[in-house]
């Protein structure tokens, strides 16, 4: 099998552009699949569907309009079972109150029902969640209006969503509804549907933000400010624009350390499932073909010493819920999936560089290796639970609490890098005052553990696969989708608990509690210490759904906000940017807006005339637009504004570390704007009706003017 795997990998690589898909088209995959020895002994996890059943399943899918579409990321997985709460040792944090997640109770569908003696799912029809029968249901339904969910755009997450809704006893509208729904579940993006109310499970701009190039750029900005805090992302260069920089930096590093023998991984922007990815030893090996010019890519330092289990490289998929952008609320699923390579790992050499089954952990690639092992058990096979890896590491004496705490930091820091631009997209699609929906989103974080247990971020997926079926070879060359109980267990829990957290009735209850609180501000501050938001949600879900397991999602922000808030500098720069955007619905700042920003913040003086301001604007905007990032609108994007802001900060506060320069300049600008707002307010009070300053108050998150003034004075 090894040789076939290699053949697949090298064929793909030798043929250049096109990457994995081209290799697949050429028969790479089918070649491997046709010969794959996935016999019954290898496939203990799920008994193949009978032909009739499989056909019926396909018909059902067709009727529902489910696309067999290729997803943004991986398929199958393993069950959720966090045995550890590795939070102690975290500077601020007591471990979260939730107990371990019981094996998912309340499953409503196949594969997830009660287990037989073998541990396999006992399949049945029309099963309900345990403990939800007859009178109890009726009574509860009478007490509580049912939450309505539009699932007409759910696409490949439909099956898992349906099961979740059944468990929650919420009302599904599979074909949409004329009246507004409480929740809209989209399979791809915010724009799948026009929505004006309720909650939608996608943020505008998220897909764009987590593309390889955009994510690298956002993390790079944070690395410029906080290099040590953001060293969990491999050193990266954006092609084609940074190719000369890449060549120069590699040459310099090699000169300073001749023993350094790096490997790099080239990843096309917007790619997924390993598509078009290849490894190189030297910058000159980059394929400077037409494709790299037309399709940008990220080239990254390859992590040569990953942690191995059973001699195999693996990565981790963690599910993260971004519950709200303002205020920032983040939850992490207590368990994730570990996806394994199917060839024993060796450090990259010119000989093995092309062996995809050795170097790339993508499920969608390795499933086509003859060595792929489907497994029922959570701790064997090519896909396991992350908790099973943690158990194993713990038994070897590894500090898994620290590892878990490092992972939480990585997740929070990555989201902090993404939020500034997300806020720009948000205000553009849902301007203040528009009765737009609110948003939440489940993200898939792909993380690689280094040999020393340091977690490294590989990428973030805006649409992690929520499929609960996987492809299986029924007979040589014949494939069918079969239910995957492990996927069902992990993914249904994530979707169901996301819905529980987003339950509009909990929200209403919370709002009422906030309104009745006499000291809302103090109460909110206390959130940072003890995370009662978590407690509150927990309390409500516990009383309303006693028969459901405790939440598999654990709040990490604002719970740990105190440790991370100092990193949110670019958020504050974005707030300034949004204030000066002016026209509703735009994401780019025009020259007049930029001038107004400079004038209102009193940044121009005899050394920095308005003519210099214009030159700065033109220089940076032209260069950024030349990079071909976003041509939809002309003007200065947030990234360009941030670059200009850093320039101004360096000019004004020379010889300090960059983050201090930027902090001082933000304080200065916020102070000037607060003074200006106070003056305007005074004028308006004198003249007549109150005029609000042009801004998106909820996104700016500005505190009261008086406290802003005193903040600034104290800082000085
Ligand atoms: P895709 O979206 O196409 O899956 P990824 O960035 O996730 O792209 O990369 C695919 C696979 O390549 C990862 O799952 C991982 O196994 C491997 N990989 C990616 N980046 C690195 C890296 N810097 N070092 C080592 N392995 C990497």
Cα of 393 vs centre of ligand 1, distance in Å, is 22
List the residue whose alpha carbon is closest to atom 9 of ligand 1.
274
What's the rounded Cα separation, in Å, for the pair 589 and 593? 6
Cα of 458 vs centre of ligand 1, distance in Å, is 6
* The ligand 1 atom nearest the CA atom of 341: 16
Cα of 360 vs centre of ligand 1, distance in Å, is 6
Token pair for 529? 């210490």
* The ligand 1 atom nearest the CA atom of 276: 3
Residue 310 pLDDT more than 50? yes
* The ligand 1 atom nearest the CA atom of 271: 3
Contact 444, 73 (CB under 8 A): yes
Q: What's residue 57's pLDDT?
A: 39
List the residue whose alpha carbon is closest to atom 12 of ligand 1.
360
Contact 12, 23 (CB under 8 A): yes
φ/ψ bin of 499: left (φ > 0), alpha (ψ from -120 to 50), beta (otherwise): alpha
* The ligand 1 atom nearest the CA atom of 459: 6
List the residue whose alpha carbon is closest to atom 22 of ligand 1.
302
Residues with CB under 6 A from ligand 1: 234, 265, 267, 271-275, 277, 300, 302-303, 315, 360-362, 446, 448, 458-459
Cα of 127 vs centre of ligand 1, distance in Å, is 40
Token pair for 346? 């060796």
20 pLDDT band (50/70/90 cuts)? very low
List the residue whose alpha carbon is closest to atom 14 of ligand 1.
361
Cα of 342 vs centre of ligand 1, distance in Å, is 15
Q: What's residue 677's pLDDT?
A: 95
First to last CA, the chain: 67
Q: Which residue out of 19, 267, 463 has the highest number of ligand 1 atoms within 8 Å of its CB and is therefore the one to mutate? A: 267
Residue 458 pLDDT more than 90? yes
List the residue whose alpha carbon is closest to atom 27 of ligand 1.
302
Cα of 205 vs centre of ligand 1, distance in Å, is 23
Query: Mean per-residue pLDDT for 116-141?
Result: 37
Q: What's residue 641's pLDDT?
A: 97
Cα of 212 vs centre of ligand 1, distance in Å, is 11
* The ligand 1 atom nearest the CA atom of 313: 16
What's the rounded Cα separation, in Å, for the pair 499 and 344? 40
* DSSP H helical ranges for 503-590: 504-516, 520-530, 532-544, 561-564, 569-581
38 pLDDT band (50/70/90 cuts)? very low
Contact 8, 32 (CB under 8 A): yes
* Secondary structure element (H or E) that encloses residue 200, with its range: strand 199-200
Cα of 376 vs centre of ligand 1, distance in Å, is 26
Claim: this prediction has a pTM higher than 0.95: no
More confident residue, 392 or 714: 392
Outline where DSSP puts E strands in 426-539: 438-439, 441-449, 455-461, 469-475, 478-483
The contacts of residue 98 (CB under 8 Å, 6+ apart) are: 85, 334, 538, 550, 551, 554
Q: Which residue out of 458, 460, 461 has the highest number of ligand 1 atoms within 8 Å of its CB and is therefore the one to mutate? A: 458
* DSSP H helical ranges for 257-399: 290-294, 356-359, 363-366, 386-395
Q: What's residue 628's pLDDT?
A: 57
Q: Which residue out of 277, 306, 346 has the highest number of ligand 1 atoms within 8 Å of its CB and is therefore the one to mutate? A: 277
List the residue whose alpha carbon is closest to atom 20 of ligand 1.
458
Q: Which of these, 78, 82, 76, lies nearest to 102 by C-alpha position?
A: 82
DSSP conformation class of 56: H
Task: Give the percent of the chain with pLDDT over 70.
Answer: 68
Residue 308 pLDDT more than 90? yes
Q: Share the mean pLDDT of the chain.
A: 76
Residue 26 pLDDT more than 50? no
User: Exposed/middle/buried for 641, CB within 10 Å: 0-12, 13-18, 19+?
Assistant: buried
pLDDT tens-digit series, residues 181-230: 999 999 999 988 888 899 999 999 999 999 999 999 999 999 999 999 99
Cα of 479 vs centre of ligand 1, distance in Å, is 27
pLDDT tens-digit series, residues 361-393: 999 899 889 999 887 777 788 988 898 899 999
Cα of 529 vs centre of ligand 1, distance in Å, is 36
pLDDT tens-digit series, residues 648-686: 999 999 999 999 999 999 999 999 999 999 999 998 877
List the residue whose alpha carbon is closest to atom 21 of ligand 1.
302
pLDDT tens-digit series, residues 473-526: 777 777 788 887 778 888 999 999 999 999 998 866 666 665 554 333 333 333
More confident residue, 408 or 28: 408
* The ligand 1 atom nearest the CA atom of 306: 25
3-class DSSP assignment, residue 321: strand
Residue 138 pLDDT more than 50? no
């Amino acid at each position: 099998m090894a040789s076939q795997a290699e053949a697949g990998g090298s064929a793909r690589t030798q043929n250049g552009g096109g990457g994995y898909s081209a290799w697949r088209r050429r028969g790479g995959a089918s070649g491997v699949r046709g010969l794959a020895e996935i016999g019954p002994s290898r496939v203990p996890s799920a008994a193949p569907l009978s032909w009739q059943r499989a056909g019926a399943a396909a018909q059902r899918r067709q009727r529902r309009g489910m696309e067999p579409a290729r997803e943004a990321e991986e398929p199958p997985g393993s069950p959720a079972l966090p045995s550890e709460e590795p939070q102690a040792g975290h500077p601020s944090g007591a471990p979260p109150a939730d107990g371990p997640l019981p094996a998912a109770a309340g499953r409503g569908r196949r594969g997830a029902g009660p287990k037989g003696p073998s541990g396999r799912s006992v399949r049945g029809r029309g099963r309900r969640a345990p403990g939800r029968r007859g009178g109890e249901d009726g009574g509860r339904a009478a007490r509580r209006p049912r939450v309505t969910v539009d699932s007409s755009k759910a696409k490949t997450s439909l099956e898992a969503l349906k099961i979740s809704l059944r468990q929650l006893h919420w009302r599904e509208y599979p074909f949409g509804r004329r009246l507004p729904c409480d929740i809209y579940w989209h399979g791809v993006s915010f724009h799948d549907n026009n929505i004006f109310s309720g909650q939608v499970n996608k943020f505008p701009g998220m897909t764009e933000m987590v593309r390889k190039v955009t994510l690298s750029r956002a993390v790079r900005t944070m690395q410029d400010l906080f290099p040590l805090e953001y060293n969990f992302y491999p050193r990266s260069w954006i092609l084609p624009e940074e190719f000369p920089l890449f060549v120069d930096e590699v040459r310099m590093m090699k000169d300073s350390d001749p023993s350094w023998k790096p490997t790099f991984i080239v990843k096309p922007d917007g790619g997924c499932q390993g598509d078009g990815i290849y490894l190189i030893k030297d910058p000159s090996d980059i394929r400077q073909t037409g494709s790299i010019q037309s399709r940008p890519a990220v080239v990254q330092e390859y992590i040569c010493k990953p942690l191995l289990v059973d001699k195999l490289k693996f990565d981790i998929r963690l599910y993260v819920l971004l519950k709200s952008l303002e205020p920032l609320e983040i939850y992490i699923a207590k368990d994730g999936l570990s996806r394994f390579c199917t060839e024993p790992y060796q450090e990259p050499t010119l000989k093995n560089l092309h062996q995809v089954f050795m170097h790339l952990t993508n499920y969608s690639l390795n499933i086509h290796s003859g060595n792929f092992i489907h497994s029922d058990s959570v701790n064997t096979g090519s896909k396991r639970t992350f908790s099973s890896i943690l158990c194993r590491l713990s038994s070897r004496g590894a500090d898994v609490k620290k590892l878990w705490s490092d992972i939480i930091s990585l997740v929070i820091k990555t989201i902090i890098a993404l939020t500034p631009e997300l806020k720009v997209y948000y205000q553009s699609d849902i301007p203040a005052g528009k009765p737009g929906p609110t948003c939440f989103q489940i993200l898939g974080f792909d993380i690689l553990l280094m040999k020393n247990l340091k977690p490294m971020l590989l990428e973030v997926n805006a649409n992690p696969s929520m499929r609960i079926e996987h492809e299986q070879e029924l007979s040589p060359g014949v494939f069918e989708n079969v239910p995957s109980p492990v996927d069902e267990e992990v993914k249904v829990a994530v979707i169901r608990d996301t819905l529980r957290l987003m339950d509009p009735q909990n929200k209403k209850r919370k709002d009422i509690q906030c309104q009745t609180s006499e000291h809302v501000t103090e109460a909110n501050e206390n959130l940072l210490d003890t995370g009662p938001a978590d407690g509150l949600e927990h309390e409500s879900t516990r009383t309303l759904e006693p028969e459901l397991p405790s939440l598999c999602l654990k709040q990490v922000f604002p719970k740990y906000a105190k440790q991370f808030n100092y990193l949110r500098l670019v958020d504050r720069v974005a707030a300034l940017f949004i204030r000066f955007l002016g026209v509703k619905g735009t994401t780019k700042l025009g020259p007049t807006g930029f001038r107004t920003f400079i004038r209102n913040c009193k940044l121009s003086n005899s050394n920095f005339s308005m003519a210099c301001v214009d030159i700065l604007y033109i220089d940076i905007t032209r260069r950024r637009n030349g990079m071909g990032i976003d041509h939809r609108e002309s003007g200065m994007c947030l990234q360009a504004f941030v670059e200009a802001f850093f320039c101004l900060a360096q000019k004004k506060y020379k010889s300090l570390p960059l983050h201090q320069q930027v902090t001082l300049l933000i304080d200065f600008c916020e102070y000037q704007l607060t003074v200006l707002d106070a003056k305007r307010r005074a004028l308006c009070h004198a003249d007549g009706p109150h005029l609000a300053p042009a801004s998106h108050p909820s996104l700016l998150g500005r505190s009261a003017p008086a406290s802003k003034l005193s903040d600034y004075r104290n800082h000085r």
